[in-house]
Amino acid sequence: MLTIAIREKNSHFTHGIKIIVANVCQHLKQDFCFLSPENHKCADIVFLSLDDNWVTAECYQMPKATKSQRIILICRQKEHQNLMFRPCLYMLPVIFREDEIDEITRKIAWWIEPSRHGKNTVAIPAGICQYCTTRSFTVVERQLLSHIAKGHSLKDSACLMKLDENIAKLHRKAIMRKLGIRDQYELHKFLKTNLLFLILN
């Protein structure tokens, strides 16, 4: 019995995936059942939509999760291009929201194919974490980095985050230390070189 969970906020998109999965499984004569999103850790296959706050979200721990599950990302193509900031997400198989139904069906059929049972897990290598730009950042540090990248002053960033400006300074200092950056000029240069999409979004 193949177990499938869908963690997706858009109910129409979820319903569409369920119909496609049901049709594919019927064609392949594959027994299956859907688990609730809350029980996704027990599923063989998980369809996971990209969080709105993925830039500042805690570590997704994909190297660990993908040891026992096939996790399929749901996102827009533009979002996927930006995911090199979080490479463990970038390496996941993906369904784009812009995909045609035939393309989504083709992808799902490949992942569900009975001959692939036991091969459904494609673990993300743990070593990939060293390439996550913010792997050692706290959520607050990631949020501050995002505001700075968008051109907000430290004072404005602190206000947006409801932080004392002196506390924001400490967080900025921690960011620069973790990135090996000595001054604000280097920080802005780093953002433009490595995290340009934070400025564009």
pTM of the model: 0.72
Residue 54: the pLDDT is 80
In the chain (201 residues long), the average pLDDT of successive 10-residue segments reads 93 96 94 94 92 77 87 90 80 93 95 72 78 77 84 93 94 90 87 66 51
Residue 198: the pLDDT is 60
Q: Is 123 exposed, middle or buried (0-12, 13-18, 19+ CB in 10 A)?
A: middle
Query: 113-159: per-residue pLDDT in tens?
Result: 877 665 556 788 888 877 777 777 887 888 888 888 888 999 999 99
- In the chain, the amino acid numbered 197 is F
Residue 120: the pLDDT is 56
Residue 27: the pLDDT is 93
Residue 43: the pLDDT is 93
Residue 149: the pLDDT is 82
Task: Please report how the helices 139-149 and 184-194 are oriented relative to each other, as an axis angle in degrees rounded to 10.
Answer: 90
Q: How many CA atoms lie within 13 A of 139 on its CB side?
A: 7
Residue 200: the pLDDT is 52
d(CA 33, CA 31): 7
Task: Answer yes or no: are the C-beta atoms of 144 and 170 closer than 8 Å.
Answer: no
Residue 118: the pLDDT is 59
Q: Residue 95 pairs with which residues in a beta bridge? A: 74
Q: Which residues have CB under 8 Å from 22's CB, separation 6+?
A: 32
